[in-house]
Structure 1
Amino acid sequence: MVCVTQLYVLAMAVISCRGQSILLPLVESTRQVAGAVITQPLFQALAQGAGELIANTVYDATRLPVAIAHVLGVSENLPVLINNNNVADRTDKILAEYQSGLNNEDAKLSIDKLIKKYGYPVEKHETVTEDGYVLQMFRIPGKGSVVFLMHGLLGSADDFVIAGLESGLAYLLAEEGYDVWMGNARGNKHSRRHVELEPSDAGFWDFSWHEIGCFDLPAMIDYVLNSTSAKTLKYIGHSQGTTSFFVMGSERPEYNEKIDLMVALSPVAFMSHAKSPFVRLTAPVGDIVGVILQGFGLHEFLPDSNILRIIKRIMCGTGPIAEIICYNSLLLTSGFGFAELNVTNLPVIHGHTPSGASLKQVVHYGQGFNSGDFKQYDYGRLKNLRIYGNEVPPAYALEKVTAPVSLVYSADDWMAHPDDVDALYQRLGNAVDIHKVPHPQFNHIDFIWAKHFKILIFDRLRRLLTAF
């Protein structure tokens, strides 16, 4: 414990005050890479401008009283990200890049076979949560300290390897000698088992990211620490992987002592400024739609649905490029941009995502957008009284998150808006670092699959991990 404490004090010593809270050795390297990477050819500004326009248009459209989906689905006048004006001169290039990746066997390989293919050892591990969910984890063993990776909504452990050797976070960490563990939340393709329930049972899907934070993360963290005989680990989460961590730190504060450092890539807690057209379209009616769908026995968030097809047309229009870019519902709902999108690798992304989630997870995020707060699930007045003893669900006590937290965000993130990240920073009990990615087009998905991930994210992350 003395050694850990000394490292923590040392790390804190090199962190400066609000507004400049980045590790000092990283400042110059950040400046050096920014100019080279952000100067991308053509239509970056066009894509960003269209994204803003789409987000606002969809938000306004949700205020229409009737036939919203029908109206949106047939309109020919809504702005789209992909049209003749912004891809006409690159259509052939994009198609060629995509087609060149169609025969990549990585799209069909399971995660363990994928890791083995690229020369790394891999282990499968399982643990059971307090409420009976069987969770699978993957490990690339190393002799260094333990790093635990947690995916976002609709993601899985696959997210950290499918970008390949040059950009896959798990591979990059393994090269640094870390003992890399990748978790899987209940309900995704690797964790669809329960000691009593089947995925066909409604009860199996009765969870949101609250339960992932209260049960899944503690179970996996305890298993990893027991397996490695380590006392603490470093945690890196993306999107929902950050949300669930903040839940754990608030609701299970004893786990803060088990974390040397938590790095939040695209931190999602407060969401009132989210630009995602999916969030803005569904949030105002999310509770009602959720009840209706559950009444029809639909409890899993399906990748192919009428609402997603509507949003696809709103955002992307039609044509071969639109089909390629918007095929994957994870990209469609979380955001995509051309600047850092590796089109050649899209077939691999399509082959591994989306990985599944409960409808309740999606509804819970929508509630956050509506309320502007980071709260537990809202069941309605009467059920809230039974569960919480209050008509309104309680807010998460973020001041209880005492583990050191580093927040990494970007300007063009559809889910984690800079204003919302700032609100989170102000509320956290121990936010020791906040960093804006120096790329105006960096979006929510780029935090795991960007072409220049190593330069824009990992080089700094590597130094940050070393400091703790």
Structure 2
Amino acid sequence: MYTVWLLGTLAVLSRCHGRVSNPPFPKIELNTRHFAEKLFKKPVLRDTTKISAELLASSVGVLTSAPIALSRLHGVGPPLHGLFSSTNVVALADFIPVYDYGRRNDDVHLSIDQLIVKYGYPLEEHRVVTDDRYLLTVFRIPRLGPPVLLVHGLEGSADDFVLAGPESGLAYLLADEGYDVWLGNARGNKHSRHHEHLKPTDGSFWDFSWHEIGLYDLPSMTDYILNKTGNEKVIYIGHSQGTTSFFVMASLKPEYNNKTSAMIALSPVAFMTNVKSPLIRLLAPGGPLLHTITNNIGVQELFSDNVVLRALRRVLCENSAMAAILCATNTMFLLGGFSFDHLNVTNLPVILSHLPAGAATKQFAHYGQGVVSTDFRQFDYGPRVNLERYGGEVPPSYPVHRITTHVSLLYSSADWLAHPSDVHRLSSNLPNVNIYPIRDDTFNHFDFLFAKDFKAIIYNRIRNILMAI
């Protein structure tokens, strides 16, 4: 029944487009807000902890170990980890007013170009055409220094690198140092929903995963930047899927190693054997079936910026209490790791107003296959189609040993998507690599972008790496 509801919801989300200026059900919104705020004043719920989220993660680990093992046809599922911590206590009674204060920030209502201009930075917008004719939007904060290409993660966009504001946003900090900052947008997100011949309403528009992003989008962006600036090399910084797609490009198109002076991976995702995220673990065993069903019913896109999603976000995410429990803790944290320690609660409304940015279902399915196969390899279409496409029944692994670019891997133990064991496995296959563990067991997947202490923990490391080039 849950699967039927989920697929039906996805179908509605994928078919509805437009803008909503007023909430569709104002009475429901008001009653929901009042109920939630009264609920969180109860003593038993006022002081909530990481335990609920991590108990779910542990439970999902138990529930999915058998299906994942069966899917792999050998071995056992990813091991369970100790997930409880006494350092993640948060009082929702304190959280809610801080979040409400953040909702007054004008940045909640501004687009990326408006944000960049508001804070006094110059802005250019460029259109990049890929070899397979997708039209990608790339934003630029022009400077005279070396070009740096920033690439976002799954369901993200170029916005991710400016949402923390000029004090902590990576794009701003790099521009302040004199770097020529280019903000990429992968095909399918809200800024890159165009093609020379296809429309987003065409199913074939969405027939891609992060494989195609690495094979087509990144090389096209790189060549465009080098041609525009006259430089011979670009510095690449990626987060999450932005690292995955780079590993695809640099391993399958090794000539781009000579066009990249350095690659910095924030929360690197390649091998996913030990992923802790309960959402990914739940989806992984049934990923191929879910992908087939969604394709058959015409749902090739997940979480686009459409009328229904905006309406739901307004009802659930734009009132303080529901945002605290639904949009932040139950969604972001269950995907990337649960911790309030580094979360800038005041800035959370700004972040939620820009995410999610849209992605193809095939991108999710491809990651799920990595959990099941325990390998970093191309998309699995099944033995028959694999034989036709690859010449064998099993998809080929990405030859990451061919990546000669100097790679810096920044990771943490609290990241539920990039497990340290998987990062070390990747590192052992890269010939030119340094690893930088974040020694903080509360630093999660999204803190690599939005942490309130991002400058001290992440940017200073990035700055030192860049100074050594």
Give the TM-score range, shorter chain. 0.7 to 0.9
Match of 2:9 in 1: none
Match of 1:348 in 2: 350
Q: Please tell me whether the aligned partners of residues 265 and 409 of structure 2 are also in contact (alpha carbons under 8 angstroms).
A: yes
Q: Please tell me whether the aligned partners of residues 283 and 363 of structure 1 are also in contact (alpha carbons under 8 angstroms).
A: yes
Match of 1:24 in 2: none
CA–CA separation in structure 1 for the residues paired with 2:378 and 2:256: 19
Match of 2:168 in 1: 167
CA–CA separation in structure 2 for the residues paired with 1:148 and 1:424: 22
Q: Deviation of residue 302 (structure 1)?
A: 2.4
Q: Deviation of residue 437 (structure 1)?
A: 1.0
Match of 1:12 in 2: none
Structure 2 counterparts to residues 286-435 of structure 1, below 5 A: 286-302=287-303, 321-326=324-329, 329-431=331-433, 433-435=434-436
Specify the code of the residue in structure 2 equivalent to 1:225.
L
Match of 1:39 in 2: none
Specify the code of the residue in structure 1 equivalent to 2:324.
I
State whether structure 2 residue 191 is matched by structure 1 residue 190: yes
Structure 2 counterparts to residues 49-448 of structure 1, below 5 A: 51-62=53-64, 86-87=89-90, 90-302=91-303, 321-326=324-329, 329-431=331-433, 433-448=434-449
Q: Please tell me whether the aligned partners of residues 44 and 338 of structure 1 are also in contact (alpha carbons under 8 angstroms).
A: no
Q: Please tell me whether the aligned partners of residues 185 and 191 of structure 1 are also in contact (alpha carbons under 8 angstroms).
A: yes
C-alpha spacing 1:320/1:186, structure 2 compared with 1 (3 Å): closer
Q: The residue matched to 2:301 in structure 1 has which SS?
A: coil
Match of 2:28 in 1: none
CA–CA separation in structure 1 for the residues paired with 2:61 and 2:277: 9
Specify the code of the residue in structure 2 equivalent to 1:207.
F
Q: The residue matched to 2:300 in structure 1 has which SS?
A: coil
Q: What TM-score, normalized to structure 2?
A: 0.80
CA–CA separation in structure 2 for the residues paired with 1:97 and 1:199: 38
For structure 1, the 5+ residue unaligned runs are 1-42, 66-79, 310-317
- Where does structure 1 differ by over 6 angstroms across 4 or more consecutive aligned residues? 303-306
Match of 2:76 in 1: none
C-alpha spacing 1:358/1:228, structure 2 compared with 1 (3 Å): same
Q: Deviation of residue 62 (structure 1)?
A: 3.7
Q: Output one character per residue of 1:104-162: Cα deviation in whole Å (capped at 9) or x when no partner.
A: 12122111110000010010001100001000000001111111100000000000000
Specify the code of the residue in structure 2 equivalent to 1:392.
V
Q: Deviation of residue 320 (structure 1)?
A: 6.5
CA–CA separation in structure 2 for the residues paired with 1:422 and 1:143: 36
CA–CA separation in structure 1 for the residues paired with 2:399 and 2:159: 31
Q: Please tell me whether the aligned partners of residues 44 and 339 of structure 1 are also in contact (alpha carbons under 8 angstroms).
A: no
> What RMSD over aligned residues (CA atoms) do the two structures have, in Å?
2.5
Q: Deviation of residue 354 (structure 1)?
A: 0.5
CA–CA separation in structure 2 for the residues paired with 1:439 and 1:368: 27
CA–CA separation in structure 2 for the residues paired with 1:45 and 1:428: 42
Q: What TM-score, normalized to structure 1?
A: 0.80
CA–CA separation in structure 2 for the residues paired with 1:250 and 1:129: 19
Q: Please tell me whether the aligned partners of residues 330 and 353 of structure 1 are also in contact (alpha carbons under 8 angstroms).
A: no
Specify the code of the residue in structure 1 equivalent to 2:373.
S
Q: Please tell me whether the aligned partners of residues 234 and 262 of structure 1 are also in contact (alpha carbons under 8 angstroms).
A: yes
Q: The residue matched to 2:302 in structure 1 has which SS?
A: coil
Match of 2:72 in 1: none
Q: Please tell me whether the aligned partners of residues 54 and 338 of structure 2 are also in contact (alpha carbons under 8 angstroms).
A: no
C-alpha spacing 1:385/1:325, structure 2 compared with 1 (3 Å): same
Q: Please tell me whether the aligned partners of residues 190 and 304 of structure 2 are also in contact (alpha carbons under 8 angstroms).
A: no
* Percentage of pairs with the same residue: 53
Q: Please tell me whether the aligned partners of residues 206 and 360 of structure 1 are also in contact (alpha carbons under 8 angstroms).
A: yes
CA–CA separation in structure 2 for the residues paired with 1:401 and 1:104: 43
C-alpha spacing 1:279/1:113, structure 2 compared with 1 (3 Å): same
Q: Output one character per residue of 1:265-294: Cα deviation in whole Å (capped at 9) or x when no partner.
A: 000000010101111100011110111111
For structure 2, the 5+ residue unaligned runs are 1-45, 68-82, 313-320
Q: Output one character per residue of 1:332-381: Cα deviation in whole Å (capped at 9) or x when no partner.
A: 43334200111111110111111010000000000001111100000001
Specify the code of the residue in structure 2 equivalent to 1:442.
F
Q: Please tell me whether the aligned partners of residues 154 and 330 of structure 1 are also in contact (alpha carbons under 8 angstroms).
A: no
